[in-house]
Amino acid sequence: MIRRMFRFEHRTFLKHSMGLQGYEQPRGLKGCVTMSRLIVNGGRPLHGELQIQGAKNSALPILIATLLCQTPSVLHNCPDLSDVDASCSILKYLGCSVKKNGENIVVNPISADKYDIPDELMREMRSSIVFLGAICAKLGRARISFPGGCELGPRPIDLHLSSLRQLGVVIEEDHGWLNCHTNGRLRGTNIVLSFPSVGATENIMLASVTAKGTTTIVNAAREPEIVDLANFLIKCGAKIKGAGESVITIEGVDKIYGCEYTVIPDRIVAATYMAAAAITGGDLTLKGINVEHLNPVFPAFREAGCIVETSGNMLRISRIGKLYPVKNIRTMPYPGFPTDAQAPVMAMSTLACGTSVFIENIFENRYKHTSELRRLGANIKVEGKVAIVEGVKKLYGAPVEATDLRGGAALVVAALAAEGQTVVTGLRHIDRGYASIERDLQSVGADIHRV
C-alpha cells in the first residue's frame, strides 16, 4: 500500500514539475485529490462569435517533426492544451530548447541527444508513439514504453512497428518497452497499410523524410492533419507528394531545416461548438475555420434542422425550429464522418424528436459517454458498434464524469441544454483537446465556470 501511494505521489510530482496542465492536484499523504470540475447551468441558447483554436492533431506531430530539423522552428496557432505541454516536455527531455509564448512555440533541436522517453511522459498521451520514427531517424536508436492517453480500445500500434521495421528499424519488445536501433541510415521502401491509420502514416512520414531512397505509403490516412504535417515538412525541405490522397510518396533527403509555420484550425473543436449551438437552439459564428475540413459533418447538422452558412474561413450555424434526428451516422476515416465528432453530435441528438443511429467503426470503446448521458436523462441503447438514441423532451442536470476527451466534450454539450445544474468532473481529459472550453462558452452566453 505504501509503495502504491509513493508511485501516485511521484507521478503527480513529475507531471507538475514538467509544467503539464489539467491534472488533479495531490492533497495530503493518503493520495486524496482535489478535482477541478465544471459547473453548468443549462438552458441558455448560445449566441455570438468564437475563434477556433489550432488543431491538436496537427500540432502534436508537427512538434515531433521539429526534432528532425537542423535549425529552429517557429510554430504559430498551437493550442494551449495539456497534450501540447506533454509533447513540449518530451522534446525538452530529449534535449531540445522549447520556448512557449501563448499559441507560439519555438523549438531548437540542435542539442537533442537523448533517445529514450521516460514511462511517465509516454503515458500522458497516446500520440507519443509517433516520437518513435523521428527519434530513430535522428539518433539511430530509441527506447520508449507503450503510450497512454484515453482508453478507447486497442489502436493498431502493430502498424507502426511493422512499418518502421520495413524501413530498417530493429525493434525488440521488452516487458512493456520498445528497444529500437538502426543499422545506419533508414532505407526507403514500399509500405502497404492494412488500415489507413493516422498515427502510422505520421510515423512513416517522419522516419522516411531523411531515409535513403523513396518510400511509398499505400492506403495512407487522408486526414487534413496529415496534409498539414506534410506541408510543414515540405517547407522544411522534405520531398513529399500525394498527402491527402491514398498514396503518399516520400523521396528521402539528407537534411531538413526548421521553418516558420501556422497550424491549421481544429475541425473537431468546431464540430463540438456546432453541436452546442444546435442543442441549445442558438446562433453561432465560428471564425478561423477551414470549410473543406468540415464538409463531412455538415450533412448531419443540416439533417438535424440547422441552418449552416459558410463564407471564406467563417461559418454560421443556427437553429430556430425543432431538432430533428440524424438517421444514420457511420464513423469512417477521412473524408468520412470523423470518429472524434461522434460523441458531441450524439449529445446533440439526445433532444431530437425521433431516433438517431450511430455506428462506430474506428474504436471499440468509444461509447463510454453514453452511460453518463443517461444520467442526464438521455435514452441511449448500445449494442456492439451500434448506438440507438431515442430523443427525449428534456435533459436534467446531474453529476457526470468525463472518461475520455471527446466523450467529455459531449457531456458539456448536453449539460448546456439540460434543466438545472450539471457538474462535470474528469476535466484532465477535456483539457487535452480544448483550450479552456468554459472560457469559449462563457463568451457566447453559457452559464459555465470551473472550480
What is the set of active-site residues? 150
- H/E run at residue 375: helix 369-375
What is the residue-wise DSSP string for 39-70? EEE-----EEEEEPPBPHHHHHHHHHHGGGBS
Nearest-angstrom CA–CA distance, 243 and 30 = 51
338 marked as binding residue: no
CB 115 within 8 A of CB 90: no
Name the grid cell of 23. Answer: 491534472
Write the DSSP assignment of 235-265 as a string of letters: HTT-EEE-BTBSEEEEE--S-B---EEEPPB
Known binding residue 155? Answer is yes
Q: Is 374 annotated as a binding residue?
A: no
Residue 127: DSSP 8-state: G
157 annotated as belonging to a binding site for a ligand = yes
Q: 301-322 as b/e, with b when 16 or more CB fall inside 10 Å?
A: bebbbbebebeeeebebbbeee
> CA-CA distance, 209 to 256, in Å (whole number)?
8
Q: Which helix (H) or strand (E) holds 202?
A: helix 198-208
Q: Annotated binding residue at 83?
A: no
Asked if 274 and 36 touch (Cβ cutoff 8 Å), the reply is no
Q: Is 158 annotated as a binding residue?
A: yes
Q: Which residues share a beta bridge with 145?
A: 177
Q: Which residues sit in the known binding site for phosphoenolpyruvate?
A: 56-57
Q: Which residues sit in the known binding site?
A: 56-57, 126, 155-159, 340, 362
Q: Which residues sit in the known binding site for UDP-N-acetyl-alpha-D-glucosamine?
A: 126, 155-159, 340, 362
